[in-house]
Amino acid sequence: MQKTPAECTTMADVRTEIDRLDRALMMLFAERWGYINRAAEIKRPLKLKADIPARVAEVRENAGRNAIELGLEPDFYERLWAQLIDHSIAQERKLLGEDEA
């Protein structure tokens, strides 16, 4: 049974909930990855590049804004998202054959 942080009375409770959340985050990342792959499929016939700087800036700004709205430290999450974006662009480049050029 899922517990809120306040309902956790032992470290085992806390660890169980962190593990549950980590799994949920991984599931969301896997879902996001599906969209990255689909983006490459859509970009190919449109002759779009993997790296679209305006979109990269928008996603990074969204990460910082979302962090602030949720009471999280924006610099950390902007850096985390920068890694996520870089990894996503690398995957799109691979799928689009940009690495071969």
**Binding-site annotation: residue ranges for substrate:** 15, 32, 43, 92
DSSP state of 7: G
- Concatenating the DSSP letter of every residue in 21-63 gives HHHHHHHHHHHHHHHHHHHHHHHHHHT--S--HHHHHHHHHHH
Distance of CA 1 to the CA centre of its chain: 27
8 A C-beta contact, residue 82 and residue 60: yes
